[in-house]
Amino acid sequence: MPNNTLYVLPTSRARRERSGEFSVGKRFLTMEEFEQRLIYAEDRAMVDKTARLLALKAAAERLKNAEKLHISKDFLVFLDHAEFFLKFFDEIALENANINDLLIGDFYAEYDEHIKVLNDLQNLYYEELAKKRFYDRGFLARNYIFNLDWLGDFSEIIIEVEGALTKHEITLLTNAANFAKTTIKFAETPFDEQILSAIAPLKERANVEIEKLNLDANFRLFFVKERLEQIAAIQSEVFYYIENHKIEPEKIVVVLPDEKFAGFMQRFDEFRLFNYAMGFAFTETKFYRLLSAFAERKNNKIAQIYLDRAKLPEIKNFNDVLQLANESEREIAKDAFDEVKPILDSFDLSFDEAISLYLQTLAKKTFDDFSGGKITVLGALETRSAKFDVAIVVDFNDEVVPHKSEKDMFLNALVRNKAGLPNYIDRADNERAIYFRLFSRVKFATILCVKNDEKNPSRFIKELNLKEPLKSYEYDKQIFFPQANIKKQQDEEIVLDINLPEPLSATKLKTYLTCKRKFYYQYIKGLKENPAIRESVISHEVGVILHNALAKNLSYNDTIEFIKKSAAGDQRLLFETRLWEARLKSFFMKEIERKNEGWIHIESELNLDGEFNGIKLEGRIDRIDRKDDQFVILDYKSKTPKNDERDFQLLIYKLLYAQKAKGEILTGYYDLSAMKINLVNTHENLEIFTEKINEYKSPLQNFVQTEKKSDCIYCQYKILCGKER
């Protein structure tokens, strides 16, 4: 009888730390490694990422009614969303569910039709894997062979569980306990009701040891006004614990709910205090920046300027591309090319399309951190089983802790509950439990968050029932951001004797009144914003689709069909537009009500131009209704905007339309969220508008920067202004 003990741990980091206990008769694996050795698929090989994408693409090409799922024929768009389908297929299988379990009958018939097509896609995808004798995790969960010979090497299995287990994993642990003495160790938090229920059946076959955790750590809770200020606070807290509590640097961990924040920390880590478990993002390399600019060169003047200054050599093929990489970048650059080459060989892509695909792959790559900083930086999931004396957690804000998963966008809680799938509440509780376990194991904990007009502290702070109040973090910024490093770029005056561009639109005027420097970059120099990094891109695109749909003045059914076609190929965009279907029913009911009142919809998307006080004006009016000799100009909004003294949109529309129509002209916003028309009196703004037009007409213009910091937050020209330093 063997006398070997297998320890199954939550993370690879925990396995590495425990490997110091290595002795004859002990072996350490992660849960993922345990699963890989415990089961296998007969006569099949595990599919790699590239082959998996190709199999899904082949399945999509065979799929009837593919348009129901809005699967794009554009290959790059398809690849961008393919992972969404594949993760969904895996989740269904690992939770021992079936896609048909999602059918919800009369509740939403068209939804059921989509589910049936999705089921067909999954079946075709598995057929494609079978042709190549491949399997993936989803297939394996339903078609595995138990590796009893391997399991027989161990006299005991000790499994440390932290976090939710899939139904597939519960089944594997139950089966393993039939053939080997098995102990399940679980550290219980107040948020583990669902997990405790899931592992309860294991008690019949395994020894289940449950340790109830408590929060005994000393907490410090602080907020800052801007996200980057947390970096200074992190460094300040590190020195606080080292100096005041004599904590060794190796016993301090910085936890990032959003691992992308590591990139900001790295920029300010002048003295290499930290080691980053997640590595360094490859997107920060010069190679990636050059190639990204090359991909954008045709539509982005700034990208072309960057390439000209970098003196980029001519690029005609991937041999030229790989020559751009330096010695430290070359291995990763070559690995990424090897990943995409099967796709390039299978599809007829243009060189620019191939570069875009290559950039998608590179963007997911990281460098390992060999800098040797003594303070560890971890993502939240990697803290499972980790042992430190101090934890400093940042970004403890709503929408970050707990974060929202794309899975919850695809299926709502009602459908997930019906199919037996984890829902948002389950995932949120699991995330809360991760932080609770972390805090229960340390002596000291600092929680940092951002608190301003746009961001609020996470509600989880209250759920921890901490006595420490949340207070503003005070520190000497000069200690952490020396003047030599953050010296504000001297603002050179830009004063020109110039006639500003005409015709003038409401958008141009608002930009001019908000920040003349931005107006200079955008409308005088012609430096266009990059839509790829615009804030709230999805919200912007949804707004465009709604405007286009309503402009056609169609019936409800035709409007919904137009919206679906417009959102095709982008699952996230499709989800957001689908949310408007119920609201639009209210919109069309409102339309009937207005028609009964005598209002007639007479114009949509009306382009007008004219002159006011010697300046040519232009505008595009969303909608004009008429009732007898009375007109109302309406601008569609997802919600009624707040009053802004720099916004003369409705007044400009009224002035332009008054040159065409005779009668009383009203103006207002059509709030599509509240389904309410809010009329606005623009007459009182005429005098101020005249003053601003005279200012705009002035031959001598000083393009000064705005003094309002809030105007710079989302401005893409702030680097040119030195406002990002």
Measuring CA to CA, which residue among 626, 623, 640, 545 is closest to residue 584?
545
Q: What is the pLDDT of residue 529?
A: 60
Whether residue 24 has pLDDT greater than 70: no
Other residues' Cβ atoms within 10 Å of the Cβ of residue 517: 22
Q: What angle do CA 472, 473, 475 make, to 5 degrees?
A: 140
Q: What is the pLDDT of residue 561?
A: 83
Q: What is the pLDDT of residue 531?
A: 47
**Are 124 and 62 contacting, i.e. CB atoms less than 8 angstroms apart?**
yes
**Are 442 and 217 contacting, i.e. CB atoms less than 8 angstroms apart?**
yes
Rounded alpha-carbon distances, angstroms, from residue 491 to 128, 323, 483, 624, 706: 60, 38, 17, 45, 12
Higher pLDDT, 399 or 156: 156
Higher pLDDT, 368 or 573: 368
At 379, the pLDDT band (50, 70, 90 cuts) reads very high
Q: Determine the Cα–Cα distance for residues 462 and 33; give it in Å rounded to an integer.
A: 37
pLDDT single digits (tens) 488-530: 445 678 888 888 999 999 999 999 999 999 999 899 988 866 5
**Are 322 and 330 contacting, i.e. CB atoms less than 8 angstroms apart?**
yes
Q: What is the pLDDT of residue 135?
A: 92
Whether residue 535 has pLDDT greater than 50: no
Q: What is the pLDDT of residue 328?
A: 83
Strand order in the sheet with 630-637: 600-612, 615-627, 630-637, 664-671, 676-679
Mean pLDDT confidence for 558-566:
81
Q: Determine the Cα–Cα distance for residues 281 and 303; give it in Å rounded to an integer.
A: 21
Whether residue 104 has pLDDT greater than 80: no
Model-wide pTM > 0.85 = no
Q: Which residues pair with 222 in a beta bridge?
A: 448, 471
Q: Determine the Cα–Cα distance for residues 221 and 465; give it in Å rounded to an integer.
A: 12
Task: Give percent of the chain with pLDDT exceeding 70.
Answer: 87
pLDDT single digits (tens) 195-237: 898 889 888 899 999 999 999 899 999 999 999 999 999 999 9
Mean pLDDT confidence for 430-457:
93
Q: What is the pLDDT of residue 724?
A: 54
Residue 47 exposed, middle or buried by CB count within 10 Å (0-12, 13-18, 19+): buried
Whether residue 415 has pLDDT greater than 80: no
